[in-house]
Amino acid sequence: MKMIRAFIRPEKEQEVVLALEGSGFPSLTKMPVFGRGKQKGLQVGPVHYDELPKMLIMMVVEDKDVAKVIGIISDKARTGFIGDGKIFTSPVDGVYTVRTGEAVL
Amino acid sequence: MKEITAIIRRDKLPETKKVLDELGYPSASIQSVDGRGKQKGAVCDNDLDPELPDNYCMSVKLKPTPSTYAVEHALPKVALFVPKRMLTMVVPDDVVSKIVKSIIKVNQTGKTGDGKIFISPVESALRVRTGEKDGEAIA
């Protein structure tokens, strides 16, 4: 299993979530975060924004679904301008469902 | 070392912290997150009162959040989320199963929305104050 952490624009959140739901991946956790990237924030005239609001979407999926999920997220979250976000994938050794206590996703 | 990420009910957090304290692993980061599972976020708090009719929460008891507003007013489809607490802790390999078992024991109500626990590998750790590495850093 893999954990996918996607940093996306907050205004794209609903679109991404509904697209994932439509493809059979309804489960995720989201949290608002602040961050900056290569461009060191955003310069609008004389005003410099060092950290910009993003939505972090975290989900754990089976190995075979990783490419599909990343495809959906990157397709829906893309605007083509800087600040579209990043997607990170990391390994997950074990998953437990608290309700049943079983080690299944 | 392993990282344990537990997504649990908000009201179970104090008990969970107490149990982890008793086990001797009180260190954890706690975050307020919103999440949804297989039920797509359609769970509600009147699980606690079984005498209420099944459709009660959808019709009356929805909390006034943007998504419930959208449901009540039949706006175009929105994604529903349930507020949760996320607990992240890094622990040695040999105690992972013990901690997971006790988290499950405390948080299990048998109803949907109990949460998930994820275990991921962690390569290294560093305590900033002293510069201790790996094992000593999380001890």
Give the nearest chain B residue to A92 (CA atoms): B120
The pLDDT of A78-104, averaged and rounded, is: 91
- Give the nearest chain A residue to B4 (CA atoms): A94
Rg, C-alpha atoms of chain B:
18
Please provide the average confidence, as pLDDT, over all residues in chain B. Answer: 81
Lowest mean pLDDT among A66-70, B39-43, B69-73, B124-128: B69-73
State how many domains chain B has.
2
Identify the residue whose tokens are 């739901």. Answer: A21
3-state secondary structure of B58: helix
Residues B68 and B101 placed together within one structural domain of the fold: no
| Residue B88 shares a structural domain with residue B132 | yes
B29-36 vs A47-49, strand pairing mode: unpaired
SS (H, E, C) B62-111: CCCCHHHHHHHCCCCCCCCCEEEEEEEEEECHHHHHHHHHHHHHHHCCCC
- Which member of A3, A94, A99 has the closest CB to residue B114? A99
Check whether residue B104 and residue B126 sit in a common domain: yes
Q: Which residues in chain B have Cβ-Cβ distances shorter than 8 Å to A18? A: 77, 79
Considering the domain architecture, whether residues B103 and B132 belong to the same structural domain is answered as yes
pTM of the model: 0.81
Indicate whether this complex's ipTM tops 0.90.
Answer: no
What CATH number is associated with residue A54? Answer: 3.30.70.120
CA end-to-end distance (rounded Å), chain A: 9
Average pLDDT over residues B7-15: 91
| B54 and B73 together in one domain | yes
Query: How many other β-carbons are positioned within 10 Å of the β-carbon of residue A48?
Result: 10
B68 and B95 share one domain: no
B3 touches chain A (CB under 8 A): no
Query: Do B103 and A94 meet the contact criterion of CB atoms below 8 Å apart?
Result: no
Taking contacts as CB-CB distances below 8 angstroms, the residues of chain B near A95 are 116-119
Does residue A99 lie in a domain region?
no
Phi and psi for A44 in degrees, rounded to 5?
A: -115, 100
Q: Are residues B98 and B134 in the same domain?
A: yes
Residue A31 lies in a domain: yes
Query: Which residues are within 8 A (CB) of B55 and not within 5 positions of it... i.e. 6 or more apart?
Result: none
Q: What are A35's strand-pairing partners?
A: A52
**Beta-sheet pairing, A42-44 with B2-8:** unpaired
Quick check: B45 pLDDT over 60?
A: no
**Are B75 and B51 within one domain?**
yes
DSSP code at position A51: S
Full domain range(s) for residue B62: 42-80
Going by pLDDT thresholds of 50, 70 and 90, the confidence category of residue B60 is very low
Q: Are strands A86-91 and A2-8 parallel, antiparallel or unpaired?
A: antiparallel
Q: Do residue B62 and residue B119 come from a single domain? A: no
Together in a domain, B64 and B95: no
Domain count, chain A: 1
Is residue A23 included in any domain, yes or no? Answer: yes
- B76 and B54 in a common domain: yes
A76 touches B: beta carbon within 8 Å: no
Residue A82 lies in a domain: yes
Q: What's the confidence (pLDDT) of residue A62?
A: 94
Residue A44: other Cβ atoms inside 10 A: 8
| Chain A nearest CA to B40, separation (Å) | 6
Q: Tell me: do B11 and B50 sit in the same domain.
A: no
Domain at B8, CATH number: 3.30.70.120
CA distances from A59 to A18, B7, B39, B103 (A): 14, 12, 15, 20
CA-to-CA separations, B107 to A55, A58, A64, B82, in angstroms, rounded? 27, 21, 30, 16
Q: Is residue A98 part of a domain?
A: no
**Structural domain of A66:** 2-91
Looking at residue A58, its amino acid is: M
